[in-house]
Structure formats: structure tokens, C-alpha cells
Amino acid sequence: MAEKKNASLEKNHATLMSRVLKSREIYLLLLPGVIWYVIFAYIPMYGLSLAFKTYKANLGIFGSPWIGLDNYIYVFRDPAFIESIWRTLWINAGRILFQFPVPIILALMLNEVRVNRYKKAIQTVYTFPHFLSWIIVASIMINSLNTQGMVNGIIKMLGGDAVNFLGSTDIFRPLLYITENWKSAGWVMIIYLAAIAGIDTEQYESAQLDGASRLQTMWYITLPGIQNTIVVMLILSVGNLMNAGFDQIFNISNAATAKAGEILDMYIYRITFQSAADFSFSSAVSLFRSVINFALLLFADRVCKWLGAEGLFPSRKKTVRE
């Protein structure tokens, strides 16, 4: 029995090596990326041990005393931590509802544009804001929306009263969604346009011969054709629910809206840099956030498979059968 098992392992190893050698050019292309991830993503993971220690700068990470789960006991006793979790989830639930569909809609609409020069111009306009930092975006927004800014100037010209856009906690969250859509929707749209480009054009020709309208073609051909891409992007969005966009909120929020913008990332920043630095405490919170994100990712993947989609990790049996 043991000999058969060893023979099977050797056969699988030989098969794996033969596949690697057969596709060695592809693996060589992947090598720089793998090296980057090992150096900058995997090796620094030893720092996660700080979540279970009391960090002492003179002793370093490995020499700092081990305290077990004490940091987590203190974390869950802090009401601000619990509030930041719910606020993060609430903001990100709104992102999925108000931001996730926007790039899909843009891609579907842009795909219907027949004049290539106009299509490229629109795509450039939509994509350009992605390359602006949140510092620049926040500066534009502050100059446009303050009480003496352009938007309030137009409101006053029309006989209205100035609106405190930047100091209202009720307007703060919609501003997050609007600015994020303006900045990132065009960039994410490229992913869906690439998926649309992979749809067999014969399907469109057949639909045209059958007299299908553009809306029917979009609904029955284009959308089903990019379904797997939409599912993958949705799963990744759910797996990112505990990250609410630190750069954006850090630059847009102010003293008046600080409470509405106290997400988990802002909480970590505050306990690490704005008070007595406690790297062990902040590491514990960061590790907790990563574990929850990973659990949400697996949960979303399982739900999508249960609903009939492929998910992030297609079934081995299904792959072999196909």
C-alpha cells in the first residue's frame, strides 16, 4: 500500500515538473511578481506576532514579551472600536450598493458607442481621475464645496442659501460615494470592457439577424457574457468590507465630520499616531480586520457557488468535465 502511494506521489511530481518545464516561459514571467510578493508581502508577516506581544523598541519584535490575547481583550472593551467596525461595514455596504454597479453600467454604455474616436475620448476622460491622488481630489472638492465655493455660489445666484457640504455628517457619506465613483469607476470599467471584448461576436450577429434591439442584446448577450467577471469583482468587494478607504476619508474628513468618518482604518491611525503609540494594539486590530476580510471572502465565494456561479475557485470536477 505504501509503495503504491509513493509511486503515485512520484508520478504526480513528475507530471507537475513536466508541466512546469513545458510552460517555463510563463513561469519566468511570473517570477519577478512572485519575488516581489515574497519580499514585501510574505516576509513582513512575522510582524503580525506583535498582535500577541507588548512591543518594546529596545527589544525589537522578537524580543518583546509575549502577552497572548491581552491586546484583543482590551480591543473589544473599547466602545470606539466596536463603533468603528459597524461604521466601516455600513459605509462599505453603501459602496457595494451605490458604487459597484457604476463601472458595469459605464462599460455597457461605452460598448454601445460605435464611433471609435469618440469612444476612446470618453474612455480617457473616465479613466484620467484614477491617476489623481486623493490629496488633489480632496483639494478640488474643498474648493468647490466650501461656503464660498463654486457650488454654493451657483446656489446663491439661484436665490438659495449656502449649504455646509463639508461640515454636514448627513452629506459626508454621499460625498464619499460620489467622489469615489468619479475617481475610480472609469478605471474599474476597463476590466468589464476587457471581459466584453472576449464575448464571441457571432452571438451579436445572430441577435442582429433575429431583429434584437440594442437593449435586448445588452441584456441577453453582453451581461451574461461578463457574469463571471461581475461575480469575481463582487466577491472581492465583499472580501474588502473591512477596508473603507483610508486615503479618501483621511483627506476629506475634518473636525466636524470626524465622528462620521471614524472607520476602522482611522481608528488604527488614531491609536497608533495621534496618541501614545501602541504598535501592539494597532497590530491586533489590523490582524482582526484581515481575518474578518478573509472570512467574508470565503463566505461570498461559497454563496456565489451556491447560487450557481463559478466563484473565485471553480470546482475541480467542473473544470475537468469541461
Q: Please name each of the domains of the chain with its CATH number.
A: 1-46 (no CATH), 76-321 (1.10.3720.10)
Model pLDDT for residues 201-223, shown as the tens digit of each residue:
888 888 888 888 888 888 888 99
Q: Could you tell me how far CA 262 lies from the centroid of its own chain?
A: 19
pTM as predicted: 0.81
Write the pLDDT tens digit of every residue in 137-178: 999 988 888 888 888 888 888 888 888 888 888 899 999 999
| Lowest mean pLDDT, pick from 8-22, 52-66, 102-116 | 8-22
Which whole number is the average pLDDT over 24-48? 87
Residue 244 and residue 267: Cα distance in Å, rounded? 12
Q: What is the DSSP letter of 65?
A: P
Going from the C-alpha of 139 to that of each of 134, 161, 252, the distances in angstroms are: 8, 23, 9
Answer positive or negative: Cα dihedral of 87, 284, 290, 44. positive
